[in-house]
């Protein structure tokens, strides 16, 4: 089996590295010094369970250069998704199925519209980042991918995804209610990441402070209200569940949104709080907390965009 990872950052690099170690034909699409280092020395994975280095079947700067694959995991940032979709169009006539592992729910909608019969919905949970060119560092925590068909069928291709990750240490879950999984993750990340970034602290510090904890809860409640208007079924006590999930994170844990702000990079704020604001307006759901967080974070985001 051949599997492409469009974007070899923390998510794509980590999961792709595990598959390459298993012996799967892995093809990375990366750029810059990271790509050069992978081509020269392979990809080094500094996992919580140990360090190893893999050499992928190929490493390319453009998805158009990748040969035929069974699956293509799309792991770019949301702001690069439109360009990635255009680069993936040559795959459309081939056998590859596309699996987005991006934050938020917009990516599944966009990929599903571009490749309606070739998109398998997906989301993941892992704490991994590019520590240096050619090096992925993973922190202790969940290693899970959830996939499913948007029409809720159990198909041979989602079964194949479960098989390919067997024995890697990744908990790959095939879900018959993938929309619930997608929205649950989107709500969690959009709310917690935005509050962490706005306060420039960590999850534990946010939740230990009564005022910032209340801000997080308000953001959660607004996002749940938007999901309800979108017709998404969520668990009844989701706010409490996501509070507990945040409290379980290790001390000092920072999510990628804050890391991007600290590095003066462009961020995914448009696909996090920005997405809930737009969806709320379309459905008549007020989202004042997300509007506040968006307003606080937008100037730094625009500065990062200007530096690109």
pLDDT at residue 308 is higher than 60: no
CA-based radius of gyration for the chain? 19
Choose the weakest-confidence range: 87-91, 264-268, 287-291, 304-308. 304-308
294-305 residue pLDDT tens: 999 999 999 989
Place of tokens 């996501």: 242
Give me the half-sphere count of Cα atoms (radius 13 Å) on the Cβ side of residue 295.
6
Nearest to 255 by CA among 139, 114, 84, 132: 139
Per the CB < 8 A criterion, the answer to whether 180 and 231 are in contact is no
Q: Name the token pair of 279.
A: 């969806």
3-state secondary structure of 67: coil
Average pLDDT over residues 144-152: 92
255-278 residue pLDDT tens: 889 989 998 999 999 999 999 999
Per-chain mean pLDDT for the chain? 93
| CA-based torsion, 193, 196, 202, 204: positive or negative | negative
pLDDT band for 252, please (50, 70, 90 cuts): confident
Per the CB < 8 A criterion, the answer to whether 69 and 27 are in contact is yes
pTM: 0.91
Domains of the chain as residue ranges with CATH:
2-143 (3.40.50.720), 180-306 (1.10.1040.10)
Q: In the chain, what is the straight-line distance between the N-terminal and C-terminal CA atoms, in Å? A: 36
Backbone angles phi, psi at 147, to 5 degrees: -130, 160
DSSP string, 58-127: EEESSGGG----SEEEE-S-GGGHHHHHHHHGGGGGSS-EEEE--SSSHHHHHHHHHSTTTB-EEEEE--
């Amino acid at each position: 089996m051949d599997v492409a990872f469009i974007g070899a950052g923390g998510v794509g690099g980590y999961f792709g590295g595990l598959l390459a170690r298993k012996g799967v034909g892995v093809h990375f699409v990366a750029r810059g010094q990271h790509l050069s280092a992978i081509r020269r020395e392979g990809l080094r994975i500094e996992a919580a369970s140990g360090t190893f280095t893999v050499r992928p079947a190929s490493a390319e700067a453009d998805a158009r250069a990748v040969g035929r694959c069974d699956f293509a995991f799309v792991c770019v940032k949301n702001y690069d998704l439109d360009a990635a979709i255009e680069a993936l169009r040559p795959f459309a006539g081939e056998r590859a199925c596309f699996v987005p592992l991006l934050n938020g729910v917009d990516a599944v909608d966009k990929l599903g519209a571009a490749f309606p019969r070739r998109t398998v919905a997906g989301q993941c949970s892992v704490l991994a980042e590019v520590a240096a060119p050619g090096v992925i560092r993973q922190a202790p925590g969940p290693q899970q991918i959830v996939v499913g068909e948007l029409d809720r069928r159990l198909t041979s291709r989602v079964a194949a995804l479960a098989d390919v990750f067997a024995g890697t240490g990744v908990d790959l879950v095939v879900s018959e209610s993938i929309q619930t999984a997608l929205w649950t993750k989107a709500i969690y990340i959009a709310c917690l990441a935005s509050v962490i970034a706005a306060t420039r602290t960590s999850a534990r510090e946010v939740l230990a402070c009564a005022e910032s904890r209340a801000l997080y809860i308000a953001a959660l409640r607004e996002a749940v209200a938007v999901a309800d208007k979108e017709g998404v079924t969520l668990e009844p006590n989701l706010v409490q569940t996501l509070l507990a999930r945040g409290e379980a994170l290790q001390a000092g844990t920072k999510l990628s949104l804050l890391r991007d702000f600290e590095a003066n990079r462009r961020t995914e704020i448009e696909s996090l709080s920005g997405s809930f604001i737009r969806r709320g307006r379309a459905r008549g759901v007020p989202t004042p907390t997300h509007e506040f967080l968006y307003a606080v974070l937008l100037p730094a985001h625009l500065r990062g965009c200007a530096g690109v």
